[in-house]
Amino acid sequence: MKTLDALFRLEKKVAIVTGGSSGIGRAMAWALGKQGARVVLIARSQAALQSTVDEFAADGIAAHAVSADLGDSAQRLDAIDRAMAPFGAPDILVNCAGNNIRKALPDLTDDDIRATLALNLEAPLALIRAFAPAMQAKGWGRIINIASQQSFRAFNNSGVYGVSKGALVSLTRSTAEHYSRYGVTCNTLAPGFVVTPLSALAIAASPGFAERHANASMIGRNGEPSDFHGAAIFLASDASAFVTGQTLFVDGGYSAK
């Protein structure tokens, strides 16, 4: 039987984290690395990726960067190959990359819809299909999808974003149904309102926006990326071996009110 500390350790594990150069993805990648995992970060900005890799290295984390737009099918396929080059096939996959086009449903263009579904749904599905078979062969794997409050309720012009994130929760259940018997679990994290570079755009565009969301939580504040350190480690480690197909709300009680 493993010691309690060992349940949460990730030595010899390889983690691929999309959207890993900022916000929640970066925080989760850092936490996995500090627990011993070797980390591959996939994001669009090479500069942000390199900065993150350098900062991780200073913290003793082995990390590698892959620059790609996962919403583009050709770049996605190339990124899958490049992501396995430094450390091999992943044991842990975190699907965090996403976009949120905040338009009312009638105002969405065909391009808005295609771009959102390509990055928020098609990319996680493609990465799961690419990496889960190797996890199955090893008899161990962890897949973590990052959803949204808008997976479960509509607000702030959910539009196609809510559609994509609702489908991601369904993908979690479908993945868990097939792979869990092979030691590969799949779960979802549902953030509340988290202060990140992406959400800063919404804050700037709407005075009082952040305060309203903070007041809607039970804890009385908005989330920070560091609030996801513990959840990432739990769902990526042996500690969660009997947890699969579930959604964990990391939202300060936002969804419970």
Go through 197-221 and write b for each residue having 16 or more CB atoms within 10 A of its CB, e for each that does not.
Answer: eebeeebeeeeebbeebbebbeeee
How far apart, in whole angstroms, are the C-alpha atoms of residue 19 and residue 191? 15
Taking the C-alpha atoms of residue 257 and residue 253, their distance in angstroms, rounded to an integer, is 7
**Is there a catalytic annotation at residue 161?**
yes
- What SS3 state is found at 102? coil
Separation of CA 90 from chain center: 15
Question: What is the SS3 assignment for 249?
Answer: strand
Radius of gyration in angstroms for the set of CA atoms belonging to the chain, rounded to a whole number:
17
Closest CA to 186 of 232, 145, 233: 145
Which residue among 161, 179, 182, 254 is the active-site one? 161
Q: Which residues are catalytic?
A: 161
